[in-house]
Amino acid sequence: MSDNCIFCKIVSGAVPSTKIYEDNDVIAFNDIRPSASVHFLIVPKLHIDSLASCENEHQALLGKMLLLAPKLAKQQGLAGFKTLINTGVEGGQEVFHIHVHVMGGGDKSRNN
Ligand code: 5GP
Ligand code: ZN
């Protein structure tokens, strides 16, 4: 748990989310500003700032997150999907708690 981290607050339940999956290690919930008809985030319960902060000890967790993507995408009705991990400010990362975006079902324009 990292203070003032929005995703840690979602993990703890302090901030609500539209959860689509949860186990001991990860949660997945719909992005609040979707850029596709289906757009959810796969988030580890452990706070890790970004992909650039990952160490060898996180290998299994990262693998678990990626292996979940096709399973959850299928459950959400997607035949195919895009994945995205923004890393660092210059990589477009806004929330510094590592997450995998999963998007599909057609683009939505974003007003931001
Ligand atoms: P990043 O740019 O860090 O890869 O993506 C962060 C994503 O988190 C953005 O797509 C943004 O819409 C989403 N997001 C930010 N705050 C919240 C929130 O409070 N709830 C949910 N469900 N998504 C959020
Ligand atoms: Zn966090």
3-state per-residue secondary structure call for the chain: CCCCCHHHHHHHCCCCCCEEEECCCEEEEECCCCCEEEEEEEEECCCCCCHHHCCHHHHHHHHHHHHHHHHHHHHCCCCCCEEECCCCHHHCCCCCCCCEEEEEEEECCCCC
Find the ligand nearest to 9 CA.
2
- All structural domains of the chain with their residue ranges: 6-111
Among the options 39, 58, 97, 99, which is catalytic? Answer: 99
pLDDT on residue 109: 60
Q: Determine the distance separating the centroid of ligand 1 and the alpha carbon of 34, expressed in angstroms.
A: 9
pLDDT on residue 2: 76
Span 6-111 CATH architecture: 2-Layer Sandwich (3.30)
- Residue 99 annotated in active site: yes
pLDDT on residue 44: 98
- The overall average pLDDT reported for the chain is 95
Q: Is the per-residue pLDDT at 112 higher than 70?
A: no
Task: Taking residues 69-83, report their average pLDDT.
Answer: 97
Q: Is the per-residue pLDDT at 111 higher than 50?
A: no
Q: Is the CB of 89 under 6 A from ligand 1?
A: no
Segment 10-64, tens digit of pLDDT: 999 999 999 999 999 999 999 999 999 999 999 999 999 999 999 999 999 999 9
